[in-house]
Chain A
């Protein structure tokens, strides 16, 4: 749960001793299983296997989820951080206060924070970093959530005053996405200059990203001697790398079949966390026939999600009836809305003017599980007379053709973010869903004066997108991290694809 950040009597909210103590407790909890093996090696380099190689190193330049995984909280920090447990906590902010009309936030920055290049953190860096995200050319998927920032003022080096055009209850949450970058850094698509506990050592495009501890880090020093993200293009190679000891941890297991290699083996630890990764079939809601609610609802009813989830994940994973995973506060069980019912699907297609079905192209990313999911959907829709042409594309093509050019009929994608229902409030998003009621609810929830009000409005929006069958939400991935048993202290939930590496310990 997000803790409310508004303070009625304008008293500065200090991240004092209580918070530090809480932090220590959660750190202890994370490393609880390691307490019997206190003597970890502080110089050990942790090798992390991942399937998400970033396209570049700038999270406002369409780098993909891989850059959040590698850099969020590790190389770059935000004013706030979304912890692995889902709480929003101050990071580079020492204290802040909110005006009574909720339009002015005054942040006081932490003292003694320096960038990897040696420059001290100043208010100007913060202003610049926020403007990088909201800039014209920014490809950040969170750009719109910061669009109501009217002015950013920097009265002195440690104070940032943000004035909003309308209240924004999730401003601290949204700021957790904003990397604070040195304003002298220039182009950061191939280099980095943040304040995090690690500095970028080397990026070998296509294979690995190496990071070493930053000696002048303001906070607690990492409990390892550095990390190396090693990128794999297929899950089997990644699993084999863990089996042979080439990597210590894999950040996400992609199929239940690989798990049998690790579950009964004392050399490995399997951790299951709460996932926010949703597999979905996104229609281009702007183009016929997907601009028709009845057609979308019919297709949703034609696909047996339960059978699909079983096929892909066996006994793991969760069914969802909309875009909202159970870890978001506005979750309600909507699996009954447009549930599997091929009979009524055929009827609805006929009512919508497609008694003989229709045909469309499904742009399918070439990595697992999308091609298999595509074939399943193809089979299911064939039964109601809809002909699906599968077009296999690479992740790069997906980004340019679908996300940027919006030139598609339907596509498959996994969406990893926490609290990303806001995408349905953006008619310009790649899937082009545009329901004024939802746009208003999502915008209105931002202006809410309490978390309860925000939750109520987003719950309502959640119900409407489900009724509208805005996309076809297939299932929620399980979040499974597997490590060697001598490695502990890693995050298991991976919210927003983040993977904080600072507490990871490895025993010899």
Chain B
């Protein structure tokens, strides 16, 4: 394969990822102002196949599946973004702290990250949900954010240490620059591109984890539509009305693959060692 072909392929996947993520984001945003039916409107018959009125069919209660998919897109994006934001804040702060800290504290924090990472994100999230009285959208976001934070923390620590070993940091230190200034002027701008790629990957993980939580009945409670709960509810009717499971499954797949491809494309742009020009 020639170099330009490889490049076109990469551009194509980037475009594909933008289309996938863009379409789902659009659906989620539009759902705030318009959906084909009201979410709880039992407008159709029981388990109607996809048709002109109900584009993705109806569920057992006669509710429009397409409407639920749109609201589900909104929930997935909100939970994904919220969880990544919480994970990023906690992770970046602790990661940078660890990199700057004394040897002992650094080792302790690193070990702490590793131990937390050893727990599956979903398990940590389930513990957080269990600790709160009842499940809600904010609980799900908080739970997943906490679950993701050690992953972000570990990568932040490593990236920060790399930057700290550079000569210009030593120069800045010799000049007496205080460490908050070093963090803001030198470290954050340098680690941001790599961190962004990692956060995009975490976003995909968070979306999957939210679907899993909802599937287990621990996510946002009804009437919030979540793809995970749609899958769970469609489970009993998967033979007679497969669209109830296929569409949310496809939506989930499209969003996660879109985000992963996007992260890939971003890495190619930001990572000089991968730049092929």
Contacts and interface: CB of A to CB of B under 8 A. Distances in A.
A25 B238 CA distance: 42
Contact of A378 (B60, B135, B217, B222): B222
A254 B236 contact: yes
A339 B26 CA distance: 44
A309 to B, nearest CB: 11
Contacts of A236: 235-236, 238
Given A311-B46, A311-B61, A375 B223 contact: yes
A398 to B, nearest CB: 13
Contacts of A307: 42
A392 interface: yes
A186 B239 CA distance: 48
Interface in A348-388: 366, 368, 371-372, 374-376, 378-379, 382
Interface string A311-337: 110100000000000000000000000
A69 B60 CA distance: 29
Contact of B221 (A234, A257, A391): A391
Interface in B39-85: 40, 42, 46-47, 60-62
Interface string A386-415: 000111100000000000000000000000
Nearest to B221: A390
Most buried by A among B40, B60, B61, B223: B60
B271 interface: no
Contacts of B47: 257
B236 A390 contact: no
Contact of B236 (A257, A389, A391): A257
Counting contact residues on chain A (CB < 8 A from B), the size range is 20 to 34
A27 interface: no
Contacts of A375: 40, 61, 222-223
Given A379-B40, A379-B42, A382-B40, A392 B237 contact: no
Contacts of B241: 257
B102 interface: no
Contacts of B218: 392
Interface size, B (range): 20 to 34
A371 B239 contact: no
Contact of B134 (A310, A311, A391): A391
Contacts of B217: 366, 371, 392
Contacts of A257: 47, 236-237, 239-241
B233 interface: yes
B28 to A, nearest CB: 21
Contacts of A371: 217, 222, 233
A260 interface: yes
Given A258-B236, A260-B240, A311 B62 contact: yes
Interface string B199-241: 0000000000000000001100111000000000101111111
Contacts, number: 61
Nearest to A368: B236
B60 A374 contact: no
Contacts of A83: none
Given A257-B240, A311-B60, A382-B40, A372 B233 contact: yes
Contacts of A376: 42, 61
Interface string A210-222: 0000000000000
Nearest to A259: B240
A261 interface: yes
Contacts of B40: 375, 378-379, 382
A392 B218 CA distance: 8
A255 interface: yes
Nearest to B216: A366
A235 interface: yes
A235 B42 contact: no
A372 B60 contact: yes
B239 A260 contact: yes
Contacts of A389: 221
Contacts of B62: 311
Contacts of A258: 236, 239
Interface string B237-257: 111110000000000000000
Nearest to B47: A257
A241 to B, nearest CB: 14
A374 B239 contact: no
B123 to A, nearest CB: 17
A372 B42 CA distance: 12
A375 B240 CA distance: 21
A368 B61 CA distance: 14
A165 to B, nearest CB: 45
A28 B240 CA distance: 36
A374 B239 CA distance: 23
Interface in A278-307: 307
Given A307-B42, A391-B221, A392-B217, A372 B239 contact: no
A271 B56 CA distance: 34
A151 to B, nearest CB: 48
A235 B234 CA distance: 12
Nearest to A254: B236
Interface centre among B135, B239, B241 (most CB of A within 10 A): B239
Nearest to B38: A379
A311 B46 CA distance: 6
A255 B223 contact: no
Contacts of B61: 311, 372, 375-376, 379
Nearest to B240: A257
Contact of B60 (A260, A312, A379, A382): A312
Interface centre among B46, B47, B134, B236 (most CB of A within 10 A): B236
A297 to B, nearest CB: 23
Contacts of A374: 222
28 contacts: A234-B236, A235-B236, A236-B235, A236-B236, A254-B236, A257-B47, A257-B240, A257-B241, A260-B239, A261-B239, A307-B42, A311-B60, A311-B61, A311-B62, A314-B46, A374-B222, A375-B40, A375-B61, A376-B61, A379-B40, A379-B42, A379-B61, A379-B223, A382-B40, A390-B221, A391-B134, A392-B218, A392-B221
Given A258-B239, A368-B236, 6 more contacts: A234-B235, A257-B47, A307-B42, A375-B40, A376-B42, A378-B223
Interface of A: 234-236, 254-255, 257-258, 260-261, 307, 310-312, 314, 366, 368, 371-372, 374-376, 378-379, 382, 389-392
Please provide the 5 A-B residue pairs with the shortest distance between their CB atoms, ordered closest to farther. A257-B240, A257-B237, A379-B40, A392-B217, A255-B236
